[in-house]
Amino acid sequence: MLESVLNESLFLTHPDYAYSGTALLGALHKVGDAAQRERLERLILDLPRNVRLRNGEDRDPTPSWVKHAQDRLLGALEESNLVLTTVRTLWHERKAAKPLPENRKPQGPQVTSHTYSDEELMARRGVNFKEPANEEMFRLREALRLFLNQDKQKAELAEIDRYLPVIEQCEHALELHAKSHPSMAEELWGFLVSACETIAARVDWSKTDKRWEAIRRDLLKAADDSVPKADDDEDAKEDRWPSWGWPAPRLDAARGLPCLAYRLGHADEEITAALRRLCLDPSHPLRFNLAERLVALFEPAPDLMWELMDTVIENERKFSVLGSLLLAMDRL
């Protein structure tokens, strides 16, 4: 009942049907009489002449995909059942040239998953961990995770004190390797600034503690970093709460400097100048985060806080940033 569909060459060549068409032809050839076997073998012989070619494709010479379809059909036949001499000759010639392909059942889409380690992710970005400088900076990057994990729990001062030398080690490594190994250095710098922001927000050292010098130094440097890039479009109609990638050193500096002023009990000239610039920063996520942190200036620098809030209100074009500022003011 199904044999007649094989007269349509698509059932012998098209990927959607070739497996079933070949299986049907092979099964009918195995159980058929001599007349039926001859009809089926002629379908294989005549395939180059009858096949539907692709647009602009020549029939002579026979395209390789047509020969492959012929070979797959020949592979479905048993030599002892062959009737036509020409088919038997073709069967032997093709098999001598290379094994006839198996009629494999097509597989549907398959999904595999793999969780990349940090080392693998960095290697995909071109970082060679066989180089000692990259290996050293990656080790320091991992040591900084102690500071980054403080967002969800109260900072343990003793533990932070024990790991604090890592910050100076990072600064030294960056000074040595930033130009020669920029990819790994950029990653380490992002982690370092984020660690400084966490310390400024969470750690309650005394106002005169010398350890604030390193935090201040790195946050001020990060305030001039190129990441995140400008992303505002003044004509954009959508004004959603922003999302951002990480590491983002300048954004972390915007979050950390108001907290640093709170810890120090004042905002010096450099911190004040940096905050004034950041209030007009071209990055929407940065201004959104800074607006939320301005209330940290209420005790150490209230005049500066109101000045910066006025700057935001007068210049801001994003209602999401103004909303962040209102939520922050509600905590005063």
Say yes or no: 229 and 132 in one domain: yes
- Establish if 262 belongs to a structural domain: yes
286 exposure class (CB count in 10 Å sphere: 0-12, 13-18, 19+): buried
- Establish if 257 belongs to a structural domain: yes
What is 114-161 written as a DSSP string? -PPPHHHHHHHTT--TTSHHHHHHHHHHHHTHHHHGGGGS---HHHHH
Name residues whose C-beta falls within 8 Å of residue 219's C-beta, 6 or more positions apart in sequence: 193, 196, 197, 200, 252, 253, 256, 257, 260
Say yes or no: 72 and 161 in one domain: no
The pLDDT value recorded for residue 148 is 76
Please count the other Cβ atoms lying within 10 Å of the Cβ belonging to residue 243: 8
Say yes or no: 150 and 80 in one domain: no
Q: Which two tokens stand for residue 128?
A: 């060679």
Domain hosting residue 222, numbered range: 118-329
pLDDT digits 0-9 by tens, 187-215: 999 999 999 999 999 888 999 999 999 99
- Establish if 288 belongs to a structural domain: yes
Domain count, the chain: 2
Residue 290 DSSP label: H
Domain edge (last residue) among 46, 65, 97: 97
Say yes or no: 156 and 264 in one domain: yes
The pLDDT value recorded for residue 151 is 45
First vs last Cα of the chain: how many Å apart? Answer: 84
Say yes or no: 18 and 163 in one domain: no
Residue with tokens 């200036």: 297
Q: Has this prediction a pTM greater than 0.95?
A: no
- Establish if 65 belongs to a structural domain: yes
pLDDT digits 0-9 by tens, 223-269: 999 999 988 554 455 678 888 988 999 999 999 999 999 999 999 99
Name residues whose C-beta falls within 8 Å of residue 269's C-beta, 6 or more positions apart in sequence: none
